[in-house]
């Protein structure tokens, strides 16, 4: 909730501004300082917090210096993390980065708090990072650097991850826009594909009165008259896709035929048929038995 209200509209949705981050660190430092200072003062029998703590001036002195200490440590760890983000990014050596975080942030933060606490004790006779009891205790000088270093590491990895997502999104958007332009340009020409170049002029499929396309040895012979054809290396299915299906029909595996050059058909023993073409076209076009019914329905239908 706090992060929501502190969110800066000028920053990406997953980031807070540096100013707001510092405010959050100050707030957290105050919360931690309240906890440390309260825990470190004896409250007496019957939990007399008011008389033993709230009315004690030393408590407020400890609170202020705890706040300063914790805030300085949080600032130090955050600064080291951002410095390493530039000098030793996670992607350029994960384990090396982790080792540096442990040495500089955890060990460095703990030593700083211990030195500060020792100096404070020399002046006031009171401890800031330990309770005045002879019991085993894990000092906050260790807990705070570990906890905040872990938090900063997670935040750093999160920023790296989302920055990568944003970059990929921008790249995909750019590719998509460029791709659309290419597709649009291709669509203009590929609506009517080039099948040949003659005397420096591009010959396009739909500009030719195609009568028959005969596919043999990977080459299409596109006939626009008897013994008059262009050679092309598009796929037969690809060329057929551009043609008017009421006028043209794919017959067998190697031919696309115009209905005007079909005179009739002859049956085959396998229940298929052979097309009879107008004079001059010697290609033997075979329609398989599975396609005979559809082919005859197309041939007998009248073109609009």
Evaluate whether residue 57 is within a structural domain. yes
Report yes or no on 173 lying in a domain.
no
- Looking at per-residue pLDDT, the higher value among 137 and 297 belongs to 297
| Domain co-membership, 206 together with 113 | no
Q: Which domain holds residue 231?
A: 195-300
Same domain assignment for residues 49 and 140: yes
- Residue 245 within a domain: yes
Domain with residue 296: its CATH number is: 2.40.50
Last residue of a domain, one of 159, 186, 204: 159
Shared domain check, 201 and 128: no
Over 80: is that where the pLDDT of 176 sits?
A: no
Query: How does residue 100 score in pLDDT terms, banded at 50, 70 and 90?
Result: very high
pLDDT tens figures, 34-70: 887 776 555 444 455 565 666 777 778 888 898 999 9
pLDDT for residue 9: 44
17 with 152, same domain: the answer is yes
Angle 132-135-137 from CA coordinates, rounded to 5°: 85
Phi and psi, residue 226, nearest 5°: -65, 125
- Domain edge (last residue) among 159, 185, 203: 159
- Cut 0.85: pTM above it: no
- Is the pLDDT assigned to residue 89 strictly greater than 80? yes
The predicted pLDDT at position 247 comes to: 92
Q: Between 202 and 164, name the one with better pLDDT.
A: 202
Regarding whether 100 and 55 lie in a shared domain, the answer is yes
25 and 132 together in one domain: yes
Looking at the structure of the chain, the number of domains it has is: 2
Quick one: 80 and 204 in the same domain? no
Instruction: Give the residue-averaged pLDDT of 83-92.
Output: 86
Q: Does one domain contain both 232 and 150?
A: no
Residue 19 lies in a domain: yes
Do both 208 and 150 map to the same domain? no
Q: Is residue 177 part of a domain?
A: no
Q: Are residues 142 and 258 in the same domain?
A: no
How high is the mean pLDDT of the chain? Answer: 81
Across the range 252-256, mean pLDDT stands at 88
Predicted pLDDT at 3? 45
Residue 30 in any domain: the answer is yes
Q: Which of 133, 159, 185 corresponds to the end of one domain? A: 159
CA distance 106 to 142: 7
Domain identity same for 130 and 202: no
Same domain? 7 vs 155: yes
Residue 108 has pLDDT above 80, yes or no: yes
| Contact in structure between 221 and 231 (CB atoms under 8 Å) | yes
pLDDT of residue 302: 63
Give the residue with greater pLDDT, 204 vs 15: 204
Structural domain contains residue 174: no
- Is 269 part of a structural domain of the chain? yes
Among candidate residues 90, 89, 106, 86, the one with its CA nearest the CA of residue 147: 106
Burial (CB count <10 Å: 0-12, 13-18, 19+), residue 74? buried
Residue among 30, 51, 29 nearest 42 (CA): 51
Reduced 3-state DSSP string for 198-266: ECCEEEEHHHCCCCEEEEECCEEEEEEECCEEEEECCCHHHHHHHCCCCCEEEECCCEEEEHHHEEEEE
């Amino acid at each position: 909730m706090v992060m929501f209200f502190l969110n800066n509209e000028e920053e990406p949705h997953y980031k807070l501004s540096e100013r707001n981050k510092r405010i959050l660190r100050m707030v957290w430092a105050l919360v931690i300082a309240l906890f440390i200072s309260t825990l470190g003062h004896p409250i007496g029998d019957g939990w007399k917090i008011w008389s033993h703590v709230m009315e004690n001036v030393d408590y407020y002195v400890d609170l202020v210096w705890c706040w300063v200490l914790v805030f300085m440590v949080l600032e130090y760890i955050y600064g080291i993390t951002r410095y390493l983000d530039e000098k030793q990014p996670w992607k350029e050596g994960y384990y090396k980065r982790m080792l540096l975080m442990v040495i500089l942030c955890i060990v460095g933060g703990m030593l700083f708090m211990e030195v500060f606490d020792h100096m404070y004790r020399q002046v006031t006779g009171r401890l800031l990072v330990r309770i005045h009891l002879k019991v085993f205790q894990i000092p906050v000088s260790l807990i705070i650097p570990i906890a905040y270093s872990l938090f900063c590491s997670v935040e750093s990895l999160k920023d790296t991850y989302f920055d990568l997502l944003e970059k990929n999104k921008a790249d995909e958007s750019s590719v998509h826009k460029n791709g659309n332009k290419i597709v649009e340009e291709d669509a203009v020409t590929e609506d009517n594909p080039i099948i040949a170049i003659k005397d420096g002029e591009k010959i396009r499929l739909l500009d030719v009165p195609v009568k028959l396309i005969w596919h043999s040895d990977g080459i299409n012979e596109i006939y626009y008259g008897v013994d008059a054809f262009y050679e092309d290396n598009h796929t037969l299915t690809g060329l057929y896709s551009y043609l008017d299906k009421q006028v043209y029909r794919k017959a067998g595996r190697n031919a696309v035929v115009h209905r005007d050059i079909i005179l009739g058909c002859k049956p085959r023993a396998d229940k298929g048929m052979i097309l009879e073409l107008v004079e001059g076209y010697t290609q033997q076009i075979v329609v398989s038995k599975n396609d005979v019914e559809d082919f005859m329905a197309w041939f007998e239908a009248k073109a609009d």
